Structure 1
Amino acid sequence: MPLQDIQTRISAAEAAAGCAPGSTVLIAVSKVQPNDRVQAVLEQGHRCFGENRVQEAASKWPTFRQRFDGVALHLIGPLQTNKARQAVELCDAIHTLDRPKLANTLARLAQERGSSPDLFIQVNTGEEAQKAGVLPSQADEFVADCLALDLPVRGLMCIPPVDEEPALHFALLAKIAERNGLSGLSMGMSSDFETAIALGATHIRVGSAIFGERAAAPVG
C-alpha cells in the first residue's frame, strides 16, 4: 500500500543517513483530497496530516478528530493574518510564518490563549518573486525577532524551485537553522524526501505518493 511503501522508504533513508529510526515526521498532505482517501489513511493508523488552507482544514478535521484520536494537523500553506485565530485553534503546527505582521498576530494570540502551535519559519531559499518566505539574507534577523516575541519557533521550512537541484536548497536551510540554534527542518516532498532526510529533514510533506494525484481545487 502507498503509505506502507513511503514508511519503508523513510526507514531506509533514516538508516542510510544515520538517523534514529522513526525520527522523521511524515506529514501526509491531505489538501484537496476526497474525504474517503483521507479516512483510508487514518484507518491505517497514520495521524499526522498537512493542509494548505485554513478554510478547508476547518471543514474537514473537526469531524475526523471526533472519530480518530491523536490527530496532529499541520498548516503548510500561506496563512493570511485574518485567518490566524482560526489557524491556531485548529492546528498543532504552522510551517509558514513568513512576515512580521503575522509574527505579531501570532504572538498576540499566544498571549491571549496561553499557548501556541509549534511554528516553522518559511525561507524562500530560491528567492522566487512569486513564492512566500523570508529571504535567506533576512532569515537570521527574522528568527531573532520571532524568538524575542516568545514565539515557539521549532525550525525552518522551504519549498525549493521546481527546476533546481533540491539538495542545494535543503543544505542552505540546514545551515541557516544550525547557526540559529533551530533543530526542526521541514523540507522534502513526494519526489525528493529521501534527499531531504539525508540532509537533516525532521519533517517531510508527502501528498500524491500517499493519496494519489490531487482532485481539482475547490472553487471559491
Structure 2
Amino acid sequence: MGLNDIRERIGKAEAKAGRDPGSVTLIAVSKVQPLARVEAVLEQGHRCFGENKVQEAAGKWPGFRERFDGIDLHLIGPLQTNKARQALGLFQAIHSVDRPKLAKTLARLAQEEGQCPDLFIQVNTGEEPQKAGVLPADADAFVAECQGMDLPVRGLMCIPPLDEEPSLHFALLAKIAVRNGLDGLSMGMSSDFESAIALGATHVRVGSAIFGERAAPEG
C-alpha cells in the first residue's frame, strides 16, 4: 500500500464508474501521523490532506506551508464553535458542519473575514446517537438554512456505521445531494472508497492505506 497504489485504484474506480479521470479528490488523512510520514507524502507531490482537530493542524501545517506550495487542507473532524475562527484561517474546506449554532458562527465569521472555506454538511446516515451530523430527515431544511446564510455549501459528508453495508449509506447521501442540487460528496475511506466512487464520491478520505496505521498519541 501507499500513495501511488491508492491513486491507481482511484483511477480504476473512476474508469469503471464511467467517470472522468481526476474527478475524485484524494484527501490523505494525516491526523496523528508522524511528521516524517506526512513529509514523505508531500515529497511525492500530494497536496490535499485531512485533519481531525484544529489544534493538531495548527501545530503541524504552518511549517509545511513554508516549504511546500499549494497545500489544500480539509477539516474532517468535529468543529467546536470556539475553534471556528482559527479553522477559517487554516482550512480550505470543512467537512463537518452539523448544527445550526456552528453554521451561524461560520456565517458571522465569514462576513467579518471576507472569506470562508468550502463547506460540507455532515449527515448522520445511520442515525447513530453517538455520532455527529444532521439526521437524513432534517438534511434538506439544514442545507436550505445554511444557503440562506450565504454559506458556500459544496456538498455533503457521511461516515457509515461500522457494522452496516457502506454502499447503502453512500447511495442515501447521493440521493440527498441530488435533491438539494449539491454535487460534492465526501464519502469513502480506506476500506470502502471504491464503492463510494461508484456511487458518486467527489472526495475520498484515505489514511492508513497511504501512511500505514496511525501512531498512538504519546503519554
In the TM superposition, 1:76-87 aligns within 5 A as 76-87=76-87
Q: Say if 2:157 is the partner of 1:157.
A: yes
1:96 match: secondary structure: strand
In the TM superposition, 1:32-111 aligns within 5 A as 32-111=32-111
Q: Say if 2:127 is the partner of 1:122.
A: no
Unaligned residue ranges in structure 2 (runs of 5+): none
Work out the CA distance in 2 between the residues paired with 1:146 and 1:195.
Answer: 29
Q: 2:9 aligns to what? A: 9
Work out the CA distance in 2 between the residues paired with 1:112 and 1:199.
Answer: 37
Work out the CA distance in 1 between the residues paired with 2:94 and 2:211.
Answer: 22
Q: Where has structure 1 moved over 4 Å in runs of 4 or more?
A: none
AA in 2 matched with 1:13: A
Q: Say if 2:147 is the partner of 1:147.
A: yes
Could you give the per-residue CA deviations for residues 71-113 of structure 1, whole angstroms, max 9, x where no partner exists? Answer: 0000000000000000010000000000000000000010001
2:175 match: secondary structure: helix
1:116 match: secondary structure: coil
Q: How many residues align?
A: 219
1:218 positional shift: 5.2
Q: 1:198 aligns to what? A: 198
Unaligned residue ranges in structure 1 (runs of 5+): none
AA in 1 matched with 2:204: I
Work out the CA distance in 2 between the residues paired with 1:216 and 1:126.
Answer: 28
Work out the CA distance in 2 between the residues paired with 1:217 and 1:50.
Answer: 17
Pair 1:218–1:134, CA change in 2 (3 A):
farther
Give TM-score, length-normalised by structure 1.
0.99
**CA RMSD, 1 decimal:** 0.7
Work out the CA distance in 2 between the residues paired with 1:213 and 1:16.
Answer: 28
- State whether residues 32 and 218 of structure 1, in contact with CA within 8 Å, keep that contact through their aligned partners in structure 2: no
Work out the CA distance in 2 between the residues paired with 1:157 and 1:218.
Answer: 30
Work out the CA distance in 2 between the residues paired with 1:121 and 1:217.
Answer: 29
Work out the CA distance in 1 between the residues paired with 2:109 and 2:89.
Answer: 10
Moved more, 209-218 or 50-59: 209-218
Residue identity (%)? 79
1:112 match: secondary structure: helix
Work out the CA distance in 2 between the residues paired with 1:147 and 1:73.
Answer: 23
